[in-house]
Amino acid sequence: KLVPDGVAGDKTLTALAATERAGGKLSKNFKASEFQCKCGGKYANCLGVLIDRADIIGLEQLRTAAYPKGFTIVSAYRCERHNKAVGSSNGSQHRVGKAFDIPPTLHYNSTKIPARFRGRGYNKGTNKVRHIDSRATSARWIYG
């Protein structure tokens, strides 16, 4: 029940401590480690983890609707330098913690993907979604 204000105050620190005590769990099925930048702290300005609580709720909805046995986030937040190192664009939603690479099992127009994930990237040959994001406007693109 925290209101995002950009300040790591007492309530935020208390919530983070509770998350740590819960083994890093941010929700029933997802741990903070799944959303960490893959640079592993290599770059000085990396925030480590950046994610919107509403996106976690959306990912839980996706898991329930489409992945009853669960799934692992392939990639989520990326700091600026790691994002550049993997060849992604400067405008990548990964940089602001709103993008998630997922196992490519759902068709690009699947109704099982919650509406909040307006950005969808999919494989050319299979039409299977491998990227979702919660950008403000709809967007689709093809990999490969």
Whether 24 and 32 have beta carbons less than 8 Å apart is answered as yes
The pLDDT confidence band at residue 32, using thresholds 50, 70 and 90, is confident
> What's the pLDDT tens digit per position in 96-108?
999 999 999 999 9
pLDDT at 61 over 70: yes
Find the angle CA(140)-CA(111)-CA(52) to the nearest 5 degrees.
Answer: 65
Q: What gap in Å lies between CA 70 and CA 75, rounded to an integer?
A: 16
pLDDT at 138: 94
- By residue count, the chain amounts to 144
- 129 three-class SS: strand
| 10-39 mean pLDDT | 83
Mean pLDDT check: name the lowest of 17-21, 91-95, 102-106: 17-21
CB environment 105-141: b (16+ within 10 A), e (fewer)? ebebebeebbebbbbbbbeeeeebbbbbbbbeeeeee
